[in-house]
Amino acid sequence: MKKAVLLLMIILPFYLSIAQVIKGTVVNDAEKPISNVNIYLDGTKTGTISGSDGSFSLNIPSNNNSLVFKKDDYETFTVNTSQVLNKTLKVVLIKSKEIEEVVIIPFTEATYKNYIHFFLDSFIGYDKENVRIKNQRALKFAYDKNNKTLKVKAPQTLIIENKNLGYTIEYNLVEFFANFNENTTRFVGTSFFKETKSNDKVKLNRMNAYDGSQVHFFRSVFENKVANEGFIVNQITKFPNSKYPTEKELQRLKDFAEMFKSKGTLNVPEDILDIGNRKRNEQPYKIAITKTQIRETEYTKKTDSKLYLDYDYMMQINFKKYFYELKKGQFVKATIPIIQTSFLHPENETFEIYPNGNTSNPGILTNQGEFTKDKIEFLLPLDYQLGD
């Protein structure tokens, strides 16, 4: 659905000042002010709401962030802060129109019941007691049985309570997609954090959630401190697995499966059984470490004072994690580490790396291993600093 959202920048920029400010008004397409619009830096605790006259003002840090304008029943608008710093804005939000895919992939109550637990495991994590979506029934599910894919949408902002980390998160779920054939899931959204508590136990949980996370890694890359922070990056090369079925064999298997569905019972030829077994038990590629302890300059580049992840190979990231403990009122690291391994797949794409540990187009960057555990139950604001 194409978003009909307008952003008009009017008047002149403010005179230069120390504070970086974004201010303006939010109106609808009839020029009527819209109150109670959530306006926030994506993934942070920095935000405000528009007043009764639609006006707003927000002081922001210098980091690159997406500025989000979000109100239920209206199209969400996002813009990079670098485009609007110290300007007066007029933001026009348009009422959203609900479009259901009735014919092709309907959103149904039965699909919700069948896949809600899978979704919660993939999106929230496994601690359902302390991390929960308070308005979970707002979710809508659609399953494509032919392609074995699941799509989840949330017409309303999700309110997520995380007791372990002491936050309530207002999460705008843009996309959740799972492909069961490929065993992959991805979700993309914007988030605004509100701190609910900050005792020593919560601080300890936050420190352990941050240490070794993907955000921690990319902050280390930006600061050129990868090795100092305890990360080791190796180059991984993929080689075709000769035991995995060829494209021709996979097509033969697919054709036989279609014939089996239409005719019911059939004798399965030995070669079809063999192809099926190799597809289940083998991976398309084998991987090998072809270079160890590569430095930041080998997988990043600088252009116009911006830092980019730019690498043609898969990256293995090892981290020696010493969990934080609370002893006699002090946060100390344990003496025995746990080695955590993650993989990043740039896939010949280039991603800008920001000082706060975020990257451009994070939904496209494929990861595996420990980084995949960075679900909502371990999600911290991008303005979090160790010890907060």
- The domain limits of the chain are 6-92, 100-197, 199-241+283-388, 242-274
Q: Print burial letters for 210-231: b (CB count within 10 Å at least 16), e (below 16).
A: bbbbbbbbbbbbbeeebeeebb
Once rounded to an integer, what is the mean pLDDT over residues 225-249?
Answer: 93
Angle at 360 between CA 57 and CA 298, to 5 degrees: 135
Question: In 3-state terms, what secondary structure has residue 192?
Answer: strand
Place of tokens 């609370």: 326
Task: Say what the pLDDT of residue 21 is.
Answer: 85
Burial-class residue 283 by CB neighbours within 10 Å (0-12, 13-18, 19+). Answer: exposed
* Residues in Cβ contact with 20 at an 8 Å cutoff, skipping those fewer than 6 apart: 59, 60, 61, 62, 85, 86
Helix (H) or strand (E) holding 260: helix 247-263
pLDDT for 263 beyond 90? no
The two structure tokens encoding residue 360: 């451009």
Return the closest-CA partner of residue 14 out of 119, 67, 85, 75. Answer: 85
Task: Say what the pLDDT of residue 2 is.
Answer: 36
pTM here is 0.81
Angle at 157 between CA 156 and CA 162, to 5 degrees: 135
Tens digit of pLDDT for each residue in 176-219? Answer: 999 988 788 888 899 999 999 999 999 999 999 999 999 999 99
Q: Cα–Cα distance between 271 and 277 in angstroms, integer?
A: 10
Angle at 174 between CA 172 and CA 178, to 5 degrees: 125
Q: Cα–Cα distance between 339 and 245 in angstroms, integer?
A: 34
Return the closest-CA partner of residue 49 out of 59, 35, 60, 62. Answer: 35
Tens digit of pLDDT for each residue in 67-116? Answer: 999 998 898 999 888 788 778 889 999 988 754 444 567 888 999 999 99
The correct answer on CATH 3.40.50.150 for the domain covering 6-92 is no
Tens digit of pLDDT for each residue in 19-50? Answer: 588 899 999 989 999 999 999 999 999 999 99
Q: Cα–Cα distance between 303 and 350 in angstroms, integer?
A: 12
Task: Say what the pLDDT of residue 9 is.
Answer: 36
Q: Cα–Cα distance between 299 and 312 in angstroms, integer?
A: 8
Task: Say what the pLDDT of residue 219 is.
Answer: 96
Return the closest-CA partner of residue 309 out of 342, 341, 349, 343. Answer: 349
Using left for φ > 0, alpha for ψ between -120 and 50, and beta otherwise, residue 224 falls in: left
Task: Say what the pLDDT of residue 69 is.
Answer: 94
Question: In 3-state terms, what secondary structure has residue 161?
Answer: strand
**Other CB atoms within 10 Å distance of the CB of residue 246:** 12
The two structure tokens encoding residue 281: 């038990």
Q: What does pLDDT average to over the chain? A: 87
